[in-house]
């Protein structure tokens, strides 16, 4: 019995040893799988942090030498061979595309498609405009000292707007990365002090102001001055304005008008820019009255008043009838501005008026513009327009003897003489606002006096005391 038992026990021990060894082997394999999974998890987590969860840091600008990169960016490209880089520039022509530009530079279709696919994650290349400048980069290993090293396509960059750069950079064989880079701009002040000989536009352009900034300047004075009736040769224009420059000291964008003064027939109109509580800006005179009115006095600059409001003999038809507006003779193509903010209720040909726009404003007012040569882009019936916005251009369409603007003002659907309008200011400052205005006047006056004696000024300027007290 014991022998049987012992024998039976002996038989059972052999399988138990095998099972134990198998179990230990399974445990070792499980531990190995866990270790591998843990390590893989750490690696994946690191990749995720390095490629997806990193903060959106600026990409290094491609240059002839390896650019210093932010650590977060450098980690992504750590495996890359150190490279030297060069670049050439091109720009989009009419009917051109970014793909065509790359092909023109000799970039293969496969590489170009990979780079454009990376770009599309950050930017739609179809929105690029004619004249857009693009830099194309080539690279080669730093240890290649041959006179003509083999240079591969490294990427490209461009500036779609003043404060942004788009960079597409090679990260592998056929892989590219696209990064948006914020361009820091520095703001500088300029002061123009000039006499008017022909028009405010010409004087402001001669003072170094851009066309867009001149439009803003004209809008600013159009509420209080009739440019066709009031301006005289010898009137004086003073403007403090800003410009913004990039890291290479190149002009990136125009800034804002900070102060403007126009001396007309011995009377000085002066306006200061003041920040509002909502972050916007508005302009006020020395007494704190808003510059803005419901309607501008004239919707075109540099024109000659060729026909007044009232009864007149029609120059073509020959009979006498009411002339419901004012005619401003000006060269074909001269910009026409919306006299006030509102909605376009008519746009298109209108009989003898030719190409015509009618805008509905607040308080029952409407304005009409006729004989236009053409309309500003993207305008249609129902479009909202802002005061001072370009809506079209002077022409001679319809029944007209020459290029001019026929301009009408209607109140409650009845024509009124635009020159007789006396629209009160939109708003006026309270006591707290007046105190802020006084502070702004002093700061602006100090800035102008400093520019007038600064060797880095735009041009020689007379020293002028423009303190708030003197301009009240």
The secondary structure of 158-174 as a DSSP string is EEEETTEEEEEEE-SSS
Per-residue pLDDT at 56: 39
The structural domain count of the chain equals 3
Closest residue by Cα to residue 285 from 62, 471, 56, 79:
471
Q: Let me know if residue 351 belongs to a domain.
A: yes
Q: Let me know if residue 43 belongs to a domain.
A: no
Taken in order 323, 326, 331, 335, the sign of the CA dihedral is negative
77 and 149 assigned to the same domain = yes
As a whole number, mean pLDDT of residues 192-209 equals 82
Per-residue pLDDT at 87: 85
pLDDT at residue 435 greater than cutoff 90:
yes
Residue with the bigger pLDDT between 233 and 67: it is 233
Residue 126's SS3 state is helix
Give the bridge partners for 271, in sequence order.
260
Provide the 8-state DSSP code for 316: T
How far the first Cα of the chain sits from its last, in Å, is 128
Closest residue by Cα to residue 239 from 201, 267, 277, 265:
201
Measured distance CA(138)–CA(150) in Å, rounded: 9
Mean pLDDT check: name the lowest of 325-339, 357-371, 411-425.
411-425
Q: Let me know if residue 83 belongs to a domain.
A: yes
Q: Let me know if residue 11 belongs to a domain.
A: no
Measured distance CA(208)–CA(13) in Å, rounded: 102
Closest residue by Cα to residue 424 from 284, 295, 338, 299:
295
Measured distance CA(409)–CA(366) in Å, rounded: 6
Q: Let me know if residue 57 belongs to a domain.
A: no
Q: Let me know if residue 299 belongs to a domain.
A: no
431 and 289 assigned to the same domain = yes
Number of CB atoms found within 10 A of residue 212's CB: 11
As a whole number, mean pLDDT of residues 11-15 equals 42
Read off the CATH number of the domain in which 148 is found: 3.10.450.350
Task: Provide the greatest CA pair distance for the chain.
Answer: 145
pLDDT band at residue 119 using 50, 70 and 90 as cut-offs: very high
**Global pTM?**
0.56
455 Cβ contact list (under 8 Å, min separation 6): none
Read off the CATH number of the domain in which 342 is found: 2.70.70.10
254 and 220 assigned to the same domain = yes
Measured distance CA(368)–CA(56) in Å, rounded: 50
314 and 374 assigned to the same domain = yes
215 and 265 assigned to the same domain = yes
88 and 174 assigned to the same domain = yes
Measured distance CA(222)–CA(283) in Å, rounded: 13
356 and 380 assigned to the same domain = yes
Closest residue by Cα to residue 411 from 427, 422, 396:
422
348 and 270 assigned to the same domain = no
Domain boundary pick from 182, 208, 242: 182
Measured distance CA(256)–CA(259) in Å, rounded: 9
Q: What are phi and psi of 397, to 5 degrees?
A: -75, 155
The residue ranges of DSSP E strands in 285-352, in sequence order, are 304-307, 310-313, 320-323, 326-329, 335-337, 342-349
pLDDT band at residue 22 using 50, 70 and 90 as cut-offs: low
Measured distance CA(289)–CA(52) in Å, rounded: 53
How much is the mean pLDDT over the chain? 78
As a whole number, mean pLDDT of residues 118-137 equals 93
CA distances from 229 to 199, 222, 327, 328 (A): 12, 12, 13, 11
124 and 104 assigned to the same domain = yes
As a whole number, mean pLDDT of residues 82-87 equals 76
pLDDT band at residue 203 using 50, 70 and 90 as cut-offs: confident
Q: Let me know if residue 55 belongs to a domain.
A: no
106 and 120 assigned to the same domain = yes
pLDDT in tens, 254-281: 899 999 999 887 889 999 999 888 778 8
234 and 161 assigned to the same domain = no
- The boundaries of the domain holding residue 124 are 71-182
Per-residue pLDDT at 383: 95
334 and 373 assigned to the same domain = yes
Q: Let me know if residue 348 belongs to a domain.
A: yes
As a whole number, mean pLDDT of residues 9-37 equals 49
């Amino acid at each position: 019995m014991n022998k049987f038992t012992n024998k039976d026990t002996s038989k059972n021990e052999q399988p138990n040893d095998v099972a134990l060894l198998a179990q230990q082997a399974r445990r070792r394999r499980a531990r190995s799988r866990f270790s591998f999974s843990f390590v893989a998890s750490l690696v994946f987590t690191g990749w995720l942090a390095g490629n997806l969860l990193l903060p959106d840091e600026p990409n290094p600008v491609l240059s002839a030498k390896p650019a210093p990169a932010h650590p977060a960016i450098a980690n992504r490209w750590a495996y890359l061979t150190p490279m030297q880089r060069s670049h050439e520039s091109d720009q989009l022509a009419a009917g051109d595309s970014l793909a065509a530009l790359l092909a023109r530079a000799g970039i293969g279709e496969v590489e170009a498609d990979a780079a454009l696919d990376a770009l599309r994650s950050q930017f739609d290349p179809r929105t690029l405009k004619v004249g857009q400048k693009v830099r194309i980069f080539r690279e080669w290993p730093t240890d290649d000292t041959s006179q003509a090293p083999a240079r591969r396509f490294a990427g490209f960059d461009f500036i779609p707007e003043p404060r942004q750069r788009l960079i597409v950079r090679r990260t592998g064989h056929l892989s590219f990365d696209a990064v948006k880079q914020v361009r820091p701009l520095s703001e500088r002040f300029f002061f123009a002090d000039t006499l008017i000989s022909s028009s405010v536009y010409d004087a402001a352009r001669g003072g170094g102001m851009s066309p867009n900034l001149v439009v803003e300047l004209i809008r600013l004075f159009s509420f209080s001055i009739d440019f066709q009736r009031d301006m005289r040769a010898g009137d004086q224009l003073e403007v403090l304005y800003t410009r913004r420059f990039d890291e290479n000291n190149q002009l990136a964008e125009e800034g804002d008008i900070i102060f403007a003064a126009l001396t007309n027939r011995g009377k000085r109109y002066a306006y200061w820019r003041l920040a509002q509580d909502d972050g916007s800006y508005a302009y006020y005179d020395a007494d704190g009255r808003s510059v803005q009115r419901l309607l501008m006095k004239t919707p075109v600059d540099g024109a000659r008043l060729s026909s007044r409001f009232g009864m007149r003999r029609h120059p073509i038809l020959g009979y006498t009838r009411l002339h419901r507006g004012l005619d401003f003779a000006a060269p074909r193509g001269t910009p026409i501005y919306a006299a006030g903010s509102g909605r376009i209720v008519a746009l298109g040909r209108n009989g003898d008026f030719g190409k015509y726009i009618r805008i509905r404003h607040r308080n029952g007012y409407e304005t009409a513009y006729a004989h236009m040569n053409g309309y500003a882009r993207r305008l249609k019936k129902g479009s909202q327009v802002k005061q001072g916005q370009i809506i079209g251009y002077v022409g001679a369409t319809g029944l007209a003897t020459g290029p001019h603007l026929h301009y009408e003002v209607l109140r409650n659907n009845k024509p009124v003489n635009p020159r007789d309008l006396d629209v009160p200011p939109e708003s006026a400052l309270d006591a707290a606002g007046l105190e802020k205005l006084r502070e702004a006047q002093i700061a602006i006056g100090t800035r102008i006096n400093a520019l007038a004696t600064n060797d880095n000024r735009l041009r020689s300027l007379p020293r002028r005391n423009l303190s708030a007290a003197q301009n009240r």
